Homo-oligomer: A and B are copies of this chain.
């Protein structure tokens, strides 16, 4: 196997060749991404084999590599489409900069949206939660996390006007951490129990942030 870095450096130029996809190809790509999502959900990223993904999609390994240069690219593309879907589903509606909104309402709305998205797309959690993400996936992961933190910071700022930036950053980190932990519990349960955990997650956040606001 040749040097990876040189290869990726080459790609920036060589991959500019217009690989004109046919409708069939687009269908295969969607099929493969669906299969990958399914396999990633059940086994995680590293344990998922490209042969298993191809089998799940009902195609040969060779066909898989017709559309993706390597295993990582599958996860990258999947993550990218997931991010895109997330943006277009919830758009900028996440950050209503209206300081008149009560804290509890803002938290409830944000949590409900995110939980809903994660329940509909469980692979999102599988890709984000794995500590087994290699190379470029980690960058993608960090970028998303940073974006999320920033979003929470701006959401938070109007509620805590006097707080230093470093502290706001810390609070945002804690909030996201709490959300992730809550999400794990929510995804692990169903029906009424799941709803109860959602409510509990909201309680944690509201009480934590509420104490900061009235200070």
Contacts and interface: CB of A to CB of B under 8 A. Distances in A.
A19 interface: no
B182 A200 contact: no
Interface string A2-42: 00000000000000000000000000000000000000000
Contact of A178 (B196, B204, B210): B204
A173 interface: yes
A141 interface: no
Contacts of A211: 203, 207
A177 B184 contact: yes
Nearest to A210: B207
A34 to B, nearest CB: 21
A204 B47 contact: no
A132 B47 contact: yes
A94 interface: no
Contact of A204 (B46, B129, B204): B204
Nearest to A200: B174
A185 interface: yes
Contacts of A177: 181-182, 184-185
Contacts of A90: none
A107 interface: no
A159 interface: no
A134 B204 CA distance: 32
Nearest to A211: B207
5 contacts: A129-B131, A171-B200, A174-B182, A178-B178, A203-B211
